[in-house]
Amino acid sequence: MKAAESRVEVYLMALQSLSKAEREAVIKRLLADPELREDILDLVLIGQRQGEPSRPFREYLAEREEKVRQG
Protein backbone atom coordinates (compact mmCIF):
# COMPACT_ATOMS: atom_id res chain seq x y z
CA MET A 1 0.00 0.00 0.00
CA LYS A 2 1.33 3.41 -0.97
CA ALA A 3 1.75 6.16 1.61
CA ALA A 4 -1.17 8.17 0.18
CA GLU A 5 -3.47 5.14 0.29
CA SER A 6 -2.39 4.48 3.85
CA ARG A 7 -3.24 8.04 4.89
CA VAL A 8 -6.61 7.75 3.18
CA GLU A 9 -7.37 4.63 5.22
CA VAL A 10 -6.44 6.40 8.45
CA TYR A 11 -8.62 9.41 7.63
CA LEU A 12 -11.53 7.21 6.61
CA MET A 13 -11.33 5.17 9.81
CA ALA A 14 -11.17 8.37 11.84
CA LEU A 15 -14.22 9.77 10.02
CA GLN A 16 -16.15 6.54 10.54
CA SER A 17 -15.37 6.57 14.25
CA LEU A 18 -17.06 9.95 14.73
CA SER A 19 -20.64 10.37 15.83
CA LYS A 20 -23.20 11.29 13.18
CA ALA A 21 -23.21 14.93 14.32
CA GLU A 22 -19.42 15.09 14.17
CA ARG A 23 -19.35 13.49 10.68
CA GLU A 24 -21.92 16.02 9.49
CA ALA A 25 -19.81 18.85 10.90
CA VAL A 26 -16.72 17.57 9.05
CA ILE A 27 -18.65 17.21 5.79
CA LYS A 28 -20.12 20.71 6.16
CA ARG A 29 -16.60 22.09 6.62
CA LEU A 30 -15.39 20.24 3.51
CA LEU A 31 -18.29 21.57 1.46
CA ALA A 32 -17.69 25.11 2.74
CA ASP A 33 -14.34 25.17 0.91
CA PRO A 34 -15.10 26.08 -2.74
CA GLU A 35 -12.27 23.97 -4.22
CA LEU A 36 -13.06 20.92 -2.11
CA ARG A 37 -16.76 21.34 -2.83
CA GLU A 38 -16.07 21.34 -6.57
CA ASP A 39 -13.90 18.22 -6.24
CA ILE A 40 -16.58 16.42 -4.23
CA LEU A 41 -19.32 17.35 -6.70
CA ASP A 42 -17.13 16.21 -9.61
CA LEU A 43 -16.62 12.82 -7.93
CA VAL A 44 -20.34 12.45 -7.26
CA LEU A 45 -21.16 13.28 -10.88
CA ILE A 46 -18.58 10.80 -12.17
CA GLY A 47 -20.03 8.12 -9.91
CA GLN A 48 -23.58 8.83 -11.07
CA ARG A 49 -22.67 8.71 -14.76
CA GLN A 50 -20.38 5.66 -14.69
CA GLY A 51 -22.97 3.35 -16.24
CA GLU A 52 -23.74 5.65 -19.15
CA PRO A 53 -22.52 4.75 -22.62
CA SER A 54 -19.38 6.53 -23.77
CA ARG A 55 -17.70 7.32 -27.05
CA PRO A 56 -14.21 8.31 -28.13
CA PHE A 57 -13.34 11.95 -27.53
CA ARG A 58 -12.09 12.37 -31.11
CA GLU A 59 -15.50 11.19 -32.37
CA TYR A 60 -17.18 13.88 -30.25
CA LEU A 61 -14.80 16.55 -31.55
CA ALA A 62 -15.43 15.53 -35.17
CA GLU A 63 -19.20 15.70 -34.64
CA ARG A 64 -18.89 19.09 -32.96
CA GLU A 65 -16.71 20.43 -35.77
CA GLU A 66 -19.25 19.20 -38.33
CA LYS A 67 -22.07 21.00 -36.50
CA VAL A 68 -20.06 24.23 -36.46
CA ARG A 69 -19.46 23.95 -40.21
CA GLN A 70 -23.15 23.35 -40.88
CA GLY A 71 -24.38 26.20 -39.04
d(CA 15, CA 20): 10
Assess contact for 26 and 18: CB atoms under 8 A.
Answer: yes
Residue 4: predicted pLDDT: 87
What average pLDDT does this structure show over 40-45?
A: 96
pLDDT tens digits, 7-22: 999 999 999 999 999 9
Task: Give the torsion sign (CA, 57, 58, 63, 65).
Answer: positive
Residue 46: predicted pLDDT: 95
**Alpha carbon 24 to its chain's center:** 19
Domain limits for position 22:
3-70
- Is the predicted pLDDT of residue 1 greater than 80, yes or no? no
The total of structural domains in the chain comes to 1
- Is the predicted pLDDT of residue 34 greater than 80, yes or no? yes
Residue 64: predicted pLDDT: 95
Contacts of 1 (CB under 8 A, 6+ apart): 9
